[in-house]
C-alpha cells in the first residue's frame, strides 16, 4: 500500500522567514510526486516531480525530489501572509494518487 | 488547465436526506474523479467517474451510498445518499488532462455538513 508522510503537521512562522516542508513516501511503481496548496477547500497544483535532483521553481517556491531516499521538500522563501495554507503532497503509483495529511502553514505578519 | 466548476459550494443537510453535487468542466476531459476530505484528514478517492459506464469505486465506497453519473466528457454528478453526520466532509471533483502522468486539477469543492 502506497504511503505518504508529511512533516511537520503544522508550522507557524513570521513573514519573511524561509520554510521547508517535508514529504516522505513509500510507493510501488513510482510515477510522480505532486505538491498542492490548499486554501479553504480547493487544492491548487504547484509542482509535479518525476526525476531526482532536478529542482522545480516558481517564484518563491521550489521543490526537489530524492528518489533514492524517497522524499521531497518544498521550500518557500520570503514568506508572505498569503502563503498561509495547507500544503499537500501526493504520490502517484500503482495505487493511483495517494495524498498525505498535509502541513498546515501559518504565516504571522 | 481546465476550469472546473463545482456546486453547491456548501450545504447543510439533515440526516437521512440526499445531496447531489455537480461538476462541470470547460473542456472535454478523459478522467474525472471524486474525492472526499474529512476534517483533519487527507484526500481520499471515492471513485473514478467513467463516461458512458458505471463508476469505478474504491474500497470502502459503494454505489448505493455514492451514486455517480457521467453523461458526457464535461460533466459529472456525485450523490451522497441517506446522509449521516459522518458524511460531513469536503467533496472534491478533479480531472486529469488525459496525457500520461498529467497532474490532477481540482474543482472549488463542496463543504457538506450533516446535522
Q: pLDDT, tens digit, for every residue of B38-52?
A: 988 999 999 999 888
- Mean pLDDT (chain B, rounded): 93
**Which CATH number covers residue A75?**
2.60.40.10
Q: pLDDT at residue B100 above 70?
A: no
Distance between CA B23 and CA B91 in Å, rounded?
11
Name the residue range of residue A100's domain.
3-108
Is the Cβ pair B101, A102 closer than 8 Å?
Answer: no
Residue B99, pLDDT score: 64
Please give, rounded to a whole number of angstroms, the shortest distance from the CA of A50 to a CA of chain B. 9
Kindly report the nearest CA distance between residue A100 and chain B, in angstroms.
Answer: 6
Of the candidates B66, B73, B110, B59, the residue with the CA atom closest to the CA atom of residue B88:
B110
Percentage with pLDDT > 70 across chain A: 100
* Contact at CB, B42 and A31, closer than 8 angstroms: no
Query: Which candidate from A34, A40, A96 shows the least CB-CB separation from B103?
Result: A34
Output the pLDDT for position A24. Answer: 98
Mean pLDDT of all residues in A3-10: 96
- Please give the pLDDT value at position A85: 97
pLDDT of residue A79: 98
Average pLDDT in the B85-100 region? 88
Residue of B nearest to A89 (CA): B42
Query: What would the mean pLDDT of A8-35 be, rounded to a whole number?
Result: 96
For residue A67, is pLDDT > 90? yes
- Cβ B108–A41 below 8 Å, yes or no? yes
**Would the CB atoms of B42 and A50 count as touching at under 8 Å?**
no
Measured between CA atoms, the residue of chain B closest to residue A31 is B101
Q: Domain with B40 in it: what CATH number?
A: 2.60.40.10
Residues of A with CB under 8 A from a CB of B: 4, 31-32, 34, 36, 40-45, 48, 50, 88, 90, 92, 96-97, 99-102
- How confident is residue B31, by pLDDT bands cut at 50, 70 and 90? confident
Look at chain B and report how many structural domains it folds into.
1
Cα-based distances in Å from B3 to A2, A41, A61, B77, B97? 29, 16, 23, 16, 11
Cell, residue A97: 494518487
Tell me what pLDDT residue B98 has: 64
- List chain A residues with CB under 8 Å of B90: 41
pLDDT value at B101 more than 90: no
List the single residue in B1, B45, B109 with the smallest CB-CB distance to A42.
Answer: B109
- Cβ contact B92:A83 at 8 Å: no
Residue B50's pLDDT is what? 87
Number of independent structural domains in chain A: 1
A98 alpha carbon, distance to own chain's centre: 13
pLDDT higher than threshold 80 for residue A84: yes
Structural domain harbouring B71: 4-114
Amino acid at each position: 500500500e502506497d504511503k505518504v508522510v508529511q512533516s511537520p503537521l503544522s508550522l507557524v512562522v513570521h513573514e519573511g522567514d524561509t520554510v521547508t516542508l517535508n514529504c516522505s513516501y513509500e510507493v510501488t511503481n513510482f510515477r510522480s510526486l505532486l505538491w498542492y496548496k490548499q486554501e479553504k477547500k480547493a487544492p491548487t497544483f504547484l509542482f509535479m516531480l518525476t526525476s531526482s535532483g532536478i529542482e522545480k521553481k516558481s517564484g518563491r517556491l521550489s521543490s526537489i525530489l530524492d528518489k533514492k531516499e524517497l522524499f521531497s521538500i518544498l521550500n518557500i522563501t520570503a514568506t508572505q501572509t498569503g502563503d498561509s495554507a495547507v500544503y499537500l503532497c501526493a504520490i502517484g503509483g500503482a495505487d493511483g494518487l495517494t495524498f498525505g495529511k498535509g502541513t498546515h502553514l501559518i504565516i504571522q505578519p | 488547465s481546465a476550469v472546473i466548476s463545482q456546486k453547491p459550494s456548501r450545504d447543510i443537510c439533515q440526516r437521512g436526506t440526499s445531496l447531489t453535487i455537480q461538476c462541470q468542466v470547460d473542456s472535454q476531459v478523459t478522467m474525472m474523479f471524486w474525492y472526499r476530505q474529512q476534517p483533519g484528514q487527507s484526500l481520499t478517492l471515492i471513485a473514478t467517474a467513467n463516461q458512458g459506464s458505471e463508476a469505478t469505486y474504491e474500497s470502502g465506497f459503494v454505489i448505493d451510498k455514492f451514486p455517480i453519473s457521467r453523461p458526457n466528457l464535461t460533466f459529472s454528478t456525485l450523490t451522497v445518499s441517506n446522509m449521516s453526520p459522518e458524511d460531513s466532509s469536503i467533496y472534491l471533483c478533479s480531472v486529469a488532462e488525459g496525457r500520461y502522468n498529467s497532474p490532477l486539477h481540482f474543482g472549488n469543492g463542496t463543504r457538506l455538513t450533516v446535522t
